[in-house]
């Protein structure tokens, strides 16, 4: 079966690089019009949009801070005014400020929760208003295996990502009767800017599939959840970690 997202409008937050960029390109390649969100890296976001259009897709960039309610409200309204709908929201934007608990600064905790958790809530709030009118929509929250199992030195990041899982399950129950499916994807060790410079070959040796994941591995799962193939799946957390925590 060929997945066809033609006439769908998708917003992918934090899509200027890494997993977000791969998701944006994958959705674009499947026919969706993609809103490539960024906060500061305009050039990188434009490169992602250009890549999508160069391969026959449709995309535009939109800069806003996901934790800024007024900015999100205005930008999502602009999307609905221009395209008439929002079909897919992928809450991918996130930051990390890793440290052992006794070295965590309160302001660092606030910053991570603001972007990773509050930002996802704000975006889901405004996207769902359009989706409810359509009686259809998909919200995908990018969590992490750290949110499921924790990790020393990542208590703040783990807290925010675990919160995303709780948000996912609650929104799935609230919005299911409105035709809106809400799921989470929890990546394991993925080759991104965060792992660049590390010995990914050695790290991959401890993973049953024998390699570190690629952003495209995550993007494929997101595409599945956005398609008709995932039409009876909601409130779930799909782990993409090559069997690391199997």
State residue 204's pLDDT score.
Answer: 72
Of all residues in the chain, the percent with pLDDT exceeding 90 is 91
| Total-model pTM | 0.96
Question: Does 246 score more than 90 pLDDT?
Answer: no
Active-site positions read: 157
Ramachandran area for residue 189 (φ above 0: left; ψ -120 to 50: alpha; else beta): beta
Greater confidence, 198 or 20?
Answer: 20
Residue range 31-75, pLDDT digits in tens? 999 999 999 999 999 999 999 999 999 999 999 999 999 999 999
Nearest partner of 195 among 172, 211, 178, 177, judged by Cα: 211
Nearest partner of 4 among 29, 24, 21, 23, judged by Cα: 29
C-alpha 104 chain-centroid distance? 25
d(CA 205, CA 210): 5
């Amino acid at each position: 079966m060929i997945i066809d997202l033609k006439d769908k409008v998708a917003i992918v937050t934090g899509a200027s690089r890494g997993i977000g960029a791969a998701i944006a390109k994958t959705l674009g390649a499947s026919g969706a019009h993609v809103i490539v969100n960024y906060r500061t890296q305009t050039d990188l976001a434009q490169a992602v949009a250009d890549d999508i259009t160069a391969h026959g897709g449709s995309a535009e960039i939109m800069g806003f801070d996901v934790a800024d309610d007024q900015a999100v409200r205005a930008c999502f309204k602009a999307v609905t005014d221009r395209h008439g709908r929002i079909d897919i929201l992928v809450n991918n934007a996130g930051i990390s400020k890793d440290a052992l608990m006794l070295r965590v600064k309160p302001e660092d905790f606030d910053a991570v929760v603001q972007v990773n958790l509050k930002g996802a809530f704000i975006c889901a709030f405004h996207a769902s208003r359009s989706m409810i009118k359509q009686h259809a929509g998909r919200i995908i929250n990018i969590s992490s295996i750290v949110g499921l199992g924790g990790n020393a030195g990542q208590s703040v990041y783990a807290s925010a990502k675990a919160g995303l899982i709780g948000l996912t399950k609650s929104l799935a129950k609230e919005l299911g009767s409105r035709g809106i499916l809400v799921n989470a994807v929890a990546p394991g060790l993925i080759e991104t800017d965060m792992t660049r410079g590390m010995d990914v070959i050695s790290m991959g040796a401890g993973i049953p599939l024998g390699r570190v994941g690629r952003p495209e591995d995550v993007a494929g799962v997101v595409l599945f959840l956005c398609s008709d193939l995932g039409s009876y799946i909601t409130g779930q957390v799909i782990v993409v970690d090559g069997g690391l925590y199997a």
